[in-house]
A = this chain, B = another copy of it.
Amino acid sequence: MAEKETEISDLGEFGLIDRLTKDFPISNPETKLGVGDDAAILTFGEKDVVVSTDLLLEGIHFDLRYVPLQHLGYKAAIVNFSDIYAMNARPRQITVSLGVSSRFTVEHIETLYAGIRRACEIYSVDMVGGDTSASVTGLVISITCIGDVNKGEEVRRSGAKPTDVICVSGDLGAAFMGLQLLERENSVAAGQKDFQPNFAGKEYILERQLKPEARKDIIELLHKEGIKPTSMIDVSDGLSSELLHICKASNVGCRVYEDKLPIDYQTALMAEEFNMNLVTAAMNGGEDYELLFTVPLTDHEKIEKLQGVKMIGYVTKPELGAALVTRDGAEIPIKAQGWNAFNKV
């Protein structure tokens, strides 16, 4: 801790909240009253309101040894925006609750907030409330995101129909490989003073892990092209897990083709370097924050023209189950092996 940093106890809870929130801009007319009362007041007219929440815990969801606080704040906001886009809705407001242990200074928390603020600016989301408290243990970040959607325009997980085409935005597995890289460099660095990790040529997978984006652009693109998905979910726990969520909610099965999975070359190189199975990384890695959605077969041609969206398979009747079709035509049942915070270590 540098000499001139400010201890949180010097400001107190209200002083800290005032300092953190004092010049957050309000960019949505839907935000009638922001921070500073018992509750925020929002005004959505006739639109429906969507709400999603995420809890991030130190030691479970992030490791401060290699995640800069500003990136952590940015990502904490983004993962919530992603849930709102996955409803075909638009994020408008967030509340941010923090539990902070005494090893953090006011400046640390300001850095974390700077990341949250940056995400709010880029995605035009207002910070409207929260709760800041001491924590006797690690850092706790709880964000709730509120959005809006025109009545009848929401897209749930439950609308997929047999013969629908399964689509995914961007590419998969990169965030997972980025995490492997960070963990390796961190363990190599352990105990070595002035160790400089070599990240050249690996910027993309690192950025995917440390500073992911939510696919606002895809939602806008689909809207512009007049495509309304029949079902949608964001890829947070891994493609396998999300496919199973859609299959369960829609009561359908699916076939996804190994050779259609979108994978960036940095992801592939890294998997080779680590001697890891690339398909497993793409299917189960998670933290991609891409959109997985289904469209009617009749939208096939429209989707084909879209930049950044790939068709990876199709929806089947439920009795066929969910399977990955390998390059040699074998069908492997899809099981959720995504990240699970309750797995025994």
List residues of chain A with CB under 8 Å of any chain B CB.
8-9, 11-14, 16, 32-33, 36-46, 48-55, 57-61, 83-84, 86-87, 89, 93, 95, 97-99, 128-131, 133-138, 140, 142, 144-147, 149, 151, 154, 156-158, 232-234, 249, 336, 340-344
A133 touches B61 (CB 8 A): yes
Q: How far is the CA of A8 from the CA of B32 in the complex (A)?
A: 41
- A128 to chain B: which residues have CB within 8 Å? 51
- A341 to chain B: which residues have CB within 8 Å? 13, 133-134
User: Known contacts A42-B51, A50-B39, A60-B135; is A9 also within 8 Å of B343 by CB?
Assistant: yes
- A55 to chain B: which residues have CB within 8 Å? 97-99, 131, 133, 140, 142
B39 touches A89 (CB 8 A): yes
B60 touches A13 (CB 8 A): no
- A135 to chain B: which residues have CB within 8 Å? 57, 60
A59 touches B140 (CB 8 A): no
Q: Looking at the complex, which one of B38, B46, B48, B154 makes contact with A84 (CB distance below 8 Å)?
A: B38
For A135, the closest partner residue in chain B by CB is: B57
- A154 to chain B: which residues have CB within 8 Å? 33, 41
B234 touches A37 (CB 8 A): no
- A98 to chain B: which residues have CB within 8 Å? 55
User: A112 → chain B, closest Cβ, in Å?
Assistant: 15
Extra contacts besides A38-B84, A42-B50, A53-B95 (6): CB < 8 Å = A11-B342, A39-B145, A40-B50, A40-B51, A40-B52, A55-B99
Q: How far is the CA of A36 from the CA of B156 in the complex (A)?
A: 10
Q: Looking at the complex, which one of B41, B129, B145, B158 makes contact with A49 (CB distance below 8 Å)?
A: B41
- A158 to chain B: which residues have CB within 8 Å? 37
Q: How far is the CA of A44 from the CA of B44 in the complex (A)?
A: 8
A13 touches B142 (CB 8 A): no
User: A150 → chain B, closest Cβ, in Å?
Assistant: 12
User: Known contacts A36-B249, A59-B137; is A51 also within 8 Å of B95 by CB?
Assistant: yes
User: Known contacts A52-B129, A53-B130, A60-B135; is A37 also within 8 Å of B249 by CB?
Assistant: yes
Q: How far is the CA of A99 from the CA of B59 in the complex (A)?
A: 12
B144 touches A51 (CB 8 A): yes
Sampled A-B contacts (18; CB under 8 Å): A9-B343, A12-B343, A32-B48, A39-B86, A39-B89, A40-B50, A40-B51, A43-B49, A51-B144, A53-B95, A55-B140, A55-B142, A57-B136, A60-B134, A133-B341, A133-B342, A136-B137, A140-B140
Q: Looking at the complex, which one of B83, B99, B140 makes contact with A38 (CB distance below 8 Å)?
A: B83
Q: How far is the CA of A95 from the CA of B49 in the complex (A)?
A: 14
Q: Top 3 A-B pairs ranked by shortest CB distance? A: A137-B137, A142-B142, A39-B52
A42 touches B48 (CB 8 A): yes
- A145 to chain B: which residues have CB within 8 Å? 39
User: A29 → chain B, closest Cβ, in Å?
Assistant: 13
User: A36 → chain B, closest Cβ, in Å?
Assistant: 7
